[in-house]
Chains A and B, each alone.
Chain A
């Protein structure tokens, strides 16, 4: 099966600092890759490259068969949720849905269904800047799904949001994956790895792939090691 995302030897530097140092991975339809790593590990950098927001230094990135350096056609089938609040702050919630739908050339017919699924009915008239983190994230995901994308890229999808919103977002994410969509979403709390199909652990500019269970075990073993070392030091 042709991968939807095919990344080979991807390198990225910011100033003199190497952020990504030769990443390679593939993602097929129906797969969900959880991108795990600490702050500054390069999760956002990688997602922004995949979304076509930032250029990269070297390597190759193919999305939906497009070399993203040569074509932007893949963007029509892409949904993005950014770490920063990137909805249009001068527009209200419904206006954002409407505006992004037009920009995506998606038509507005999906809006009603998405509003219902993400339980956004009560906040449609609100300015987006006043929304709680969880509601904002639900709205962001609804906006990202307006064009019925094949690939969803989400940066810090459910960090620090209310449980109800977490539940809705994960439910819709599962529905998206089971519908044949692919997703890469980043997180920095290991417990979220259970919601992914596989975990890409980003560290020192390289990506290591694990099953969610392996990732959890690796994290636990590292914690034990740190505790052990600190115990030795205390003694």
Chain B
């Protein structure tokens, strides 16, 4: 019996290896994904956001403000438009992402201690740019408004030290935990690469049943009286081992070469990925048992694998999605995996906390494999 299982598993390895397309997809897809995404996010933090300043006042005070904005972190002043319309045009064309408009009577209002309004505009069409630009602009505006306030108090006869103390009496300190520099690469690179990996694995798993029953060689298995369970377990074991084998170079590159964070021990991360690979395989197997032919199975695989990352709650909170979508997301193992790897990479919540994720994988696998078995038993 063991020799049969080993022979079936060996043949499955041959099958995957000798199918050139499948081999290249599995071997190079996730690795290439990791390299591309690491390259894309190599700057890690969005710096040098192109910004324009429209100084409509041209006073000494406004010049000083321009100087301060120029010194702001993450903003790069690339244009000085003469008017509001010119600034609007620059933002529309995408030449700049952020803009500052200093009003005409800025210096005068400031000297008279009258309220003045400096407008800060951000191009919201690109969310990533917009978020970063807003953050950079807020940082500038906080500093400048404090400086202006201190100056106003001094102008009203309050001692400079007292004026400064008045503004510093309540300090609001921002501190990002787990990813202090808000490094994009740390957040998305591994997840995006593993998204490619899970897509490749789903497509492979979608061939588990239909790849066999749809081929004429199925007659051999049936006429030999090979137990379906033995055949299935042997094939599945070979596939899951292959999934993990192609993930290992990705893990090595990510953690050892690119130094992406992994707070938990590697064993926990590996076992977590193994549990996910099994649950993912069960979903692929279910799709494979429903499908009538391999093309049909591949379509099912694409429908499951492609949107799964988006609905996993990794890039947009699950809680902000409609209730029905949340339910669908929680049925998918990808949701548990991507949420889980974020925890493992940044927080190391420990085995006890992660046990609920393992349990989710176990339930998904048990349900999908059982339903597949029922369908296959009825069909064959």
Contact = CB atoms under 8 A, between A and B. Distances in A.
B15 interface: yes
A103 B4 contact: yes
A224 interface: no
B220 A90 contact: no
B216 A86 contact: yes
Given A52-B225, A105-B4, A84 B219 contact: yes
A51 interface: yes
Interface in B4-58: 4, 7-8, 11, 14-15, 18-19
A76 B221 CA distance: 12
Nearest to A75: B225
A78 interface: yes
Interface in A99-130: 99-100, 102-105
Given A102-B4, A103-B224, A95 B219 contact: no
Interface in A73-109: 75-76, 78, 80, 82, 84-91, 95, 98-100, 102-105
A72 B219 CA distance: 14
A149 to B, nearest CB: 10
A47 B215 CA distance: 18
A88 B226 CA distance: 15
A158 B4 CA distance: 31
A98 B223 CA distance: 17
A235 interface: no
B217 interface: yes
B3 interface: yes
Contact of B11 (A52, A80, A86, A99): A99
B222 interface: yes
A194 B224 CA distance: 30
B7 A89 contact: no
Contacts of B221: 103
Contact of B220 (A76, A86, A98, A102): A86
A53 interface: yes
Nearest to A88: B217
A165 to B, nearest CB: 20
Instruction: Name the residue in B3, B7, B220 with the highest tally of chain A Cβ atoms < 10 Å from its Cβ.
Output: B220
B14 A90 contact: yes
Q: Is the interface of A mostly helix, strand, loop or mixed?
A: loop
A136 to B, nearest CB: 12
Contact of B226 (A82, A86, A89, A103): A103
B310 to A, nearest CB: 35
Contacts of A105: 4
Contacts of B219: 48, 51, 53, 80, 82, 84, 86
A90 B19 CA distance: 8
A84 B219 CA distance: 9
Nearest to B12: A90
A102 B9 CA distance: 12
Contact of A87 (B19, B220, B222, B226): B220
Contacts of A48: 219
Contacts of A88: 11, 217, 220
B225 A72 contact: yes
Given A90-B19, A91-B11, A103 B217 contact: no
5 tightest A-B contacts by CB?
A75-B225, A72-B225, A102-B7, A86-B216, A84-B216
Given A88-B11, A103-B226, 19 more contacts: A51-B219, A51-B222, A51-B223, A52-B223, A53-B223, A75-B225, A76-B225, A80-B220, A86-B217, A87-B217, A87-B220, A88-B220, A90-B15, A90-B18, A91-B14, A95-B11, A99-B11, A102-B3, A102-B4
Interface of A: 48, 51-53, 72, 75-76, 78, 80, 82, 84-91, 95, 98-100, 102-105
27 contacts: A48-B219, A51-B222, A52-B222, A52-B223, A52-B225, A53-B219, A75-B225, A76-B225, A80-B219, A82-B219, A84-B216, A87-B217, A87-B220, A88-B11, A88-B220, A90-B15, A90-B18, A91-B14, A95-B11, A99-B11, A100-B220, A100-B224, A102-B3, A103-B7, A103-B220, A103-B221, A103-B226
